[in-house]
Amino acid sequence: QGGVLAGKRGLIMGVANEKSIAWGIAKAAADQGAELAFTYQADSFAKRVRPLAESVGSDLLVRCDVSDDADLDRAFQEIAEHWDGLDFIVHAIAYSDKTQLKGRYLDTTRQNFRHTLSISAYSFTAVAQRAQPLMREGGSLLTLTYLGAERVAPNYNVMGVAKAALEASVRYMAADLGPRGIRVNALSAGPMRTLAGSAIADARFTFRWSAEQAPLHRNVDLEEVGQSALYLLSDLSAGVTGEVHHVDGGYHAIAMPHPDRVNT
């Protein structure tokens, strides 16, 4: 089979259902010839993830709760028992207490700050540690982020702080792993209608506003995010690392709405 990912093996982390960004990327990768494995958060997710994995010819499914180091160790051990090497990983995982994804950032508790950063930022580093020995011939690590890391987005709150840490970790790991030919990048997606996306208060407003103000005058879809991820996962981006690539219809480029596009 041909395709830009032909002959490559990739691990997809973060599929919850068919709307998950991880799933959009998995489909695009499979279409381009990649052989895929999947992780899922907990047993209750398996029944949704298994048929999706099977539909792209994958039967390597491993449970992995990224908040637990022992679970991460076991998951990567299981993968290493089946595969002697790994070419890419998609990390599309985030979590925060929904009650703090509204109102003021200022009110974030220490416990939720710690938990949010552990799952949404540190877990990518924990994954990279365990992926490194499997990426003997180099590889590509990709995580998902959002503009709320760079600027204030309403209600995004502690998740914005976590994404800022995640984006910084992309740069540090790019430096650490570059000599081994492992590239580390982030894809900054515009708002998408997913489980995680709907946990943020006023998600509908964000969705409408971004579509109105983005240069392309619409939001992006799963397929477009998948296509852009192909570039970062494949040798097409062989010279790219430490990058945050925006796939958001150009929204990040706008400083202020055009007067024709606001009803004031």
Select which of 95, 156, 231, 251 is catalytic: 156
Binding mask 39-58 for ligand NAD (x = CB under 6 A): --x---x-------------
Decide: is 196 part of the binding site for ligand NAD (CB under 6 A): yes
Nearer to ligand NAD, 1 or 99 (CB): 99
Least distance in angstroms from the C-beta of 181 to ligand NAD: 25
146 is catalytic: yes
Q: Which residues pair with 246 in a beta bridge?
A: 188
Select which of 105, 146, 172, 251 is catalytic: 146
Nearer to ligand NAD, 3 or 105 (CB): 105
Q: Are residues 18 and 195 in contact, defined by beta-carbon separation less than 8 angstroms?
A: no
Decide: is 144 part of the binding site for ligand NAD (CB under 6 A): yes
Nearer to ligand NAD, 177 or 189 (CB): 189
* Closest residue to ligand NAD, based on beta-carbon distance: 197
Which of 92, 134, 170, 186 is the binder for ligand NAD (CB under 6 A)?
92
Options 28-36, 93-101, 235-243, 254-262: segment touching ligand NAD (CB under 6 A): 93-101
Least distance in angstroms from the C-beta of 183 to ligand NAD: 19
CA distance 60 to 20: 19
Q: List residues with catalytic annotation.
A: 146, 156
Q: Which residues bind ligand NAD (CB under 6 A)?
A: 14-16, 20-22, 41, 45, 64-67, 92-95, 119, 144-146, 189, 191-192, 194-197
